[in-house]
Structure 1
Amino acid sequence: MSERVRTALRWLLAAAYAYAGYRHLATPAPFLAITPSWVPQPDAVVAATGVAELAGAIGLMIPRVRQAAGWGLALYALCVWPANFHHALANIAIGGETLSWWYHGPRLALQPLIIWWALWASGAVDWPFGTKEHPPLA
């Protein structure tokens, strides 16, 4: 896969995470609504997730920290997966409207792809398009 494609998809991912981070901070109510009850201090957690998304988006644009940002965003996507399940299984209404399984099913199923996308777009992994060269162990 060409570096141009990786770059374009990295920009797209950064834009998506920057927008999501902004939304977490500007309008936290929908995110608070889907936060599971076992999450402590949901206001702080939603704000922290917004900051994490913004930091990850910025990090994807800085070559020196790009791979670390990819790993951070991949871990972030894994950690918010329970909120996505909670949203789906509890049929939580956002703004008075519930979303169908036409939304929730693909959203839940594609979360591993989002995790991989962060790793691949950042250059942390090359799979399945190639293999990353590692220096020999000493």
Structure 2
Amino acid sequence: MLRILLALAYGYAGYRHLATPGPFLAITPPWVPQPEWVVMLTGVAEIAGAAGLMLPNLRKTAGWALALYALCVWPANFHHAIADIAIGGETLSWWYHGPRLAAQPLIIWWALWASGAIDWPFGNRRRAPHSPRP
């Protein structure tokens, strides 16, 4: 169930990157080259990762890719917080940014765990030899 939830979250986020790139462009750090392309490609990557989580043969690869993706976009979250960038005319307080920044390692772990790439901290899961991961 948690794998499906993660796939839905990444699929929706990818859709939003493609449908309304403005907020993502706004938080893209200035050192990122060709931000329009980067935002578009990150949307495609999120959708592909979400699909991969649902395909047993691609699940672990998708988990590693989404974990790496989450690590690579973390600077945009920091930039959003530190530069106090307004989205839709509103800035967000540290009540949003603090937990959001702290949650990124959890999101990275979630991608790895939900894909079956790791089973930490729960140890070896007892399951039938060919049953799919959660």
- Which of 14, 23, 30 pairs up with 1:21? 14
- Which of 39, 56, 61 pairs up with 1:63? 56
Letter matched to residue 10 of structure 2: Y
Matches within 5 A, 1:1-138: 8-131=1-124
**Mind listing any 5+ residue stretches in structure 2 that lack a counterpart?**
126-134
> What is the alpha-carbon distance in structure 1 between the residues aligned to residue 93 and residue 13 of structure 2?
21
Equivalenced residues, count: 125
Give structure 1 regions of 4+ aligned residues with deviation exceeding 2 angstroms: none
Deviations 1:49-70 (A, max 9, x none): 0000000000000000000000
Deviations 1:14-37 (A, max 9, x none): 000000000000000000000000
> What is the alpha-carbon distance in structure 1 between the residues aligned to residue 124 and residue 64 of structure 2?
17
* Superposed displacement of residue 110, structure 1: 0.8
Identity across matched positions, percent = 81
> What is the alpha-carbon distance in structure 2 between the residues aligned to residue 57 and residue 14 of structure 1?
4
Query: Could you say what the CA RMSD is over the residues aligned between the two structures, in angstroms?
Result: 0.8
TM-score w.r.t. the length of structure 1 is 0.89
* Superposed displacement of residue 131, structure 1: 4.0
**Mind listing any 5+ residue stretches in structure 1 that lack a counterpart?**
1-7, 133-138
> What is the alpha-carbon distance in structure 2 between the residues aligned to residue 64 and residue 130 of structure 1?
22
Letter matched to residue 103 of structure 1: Y
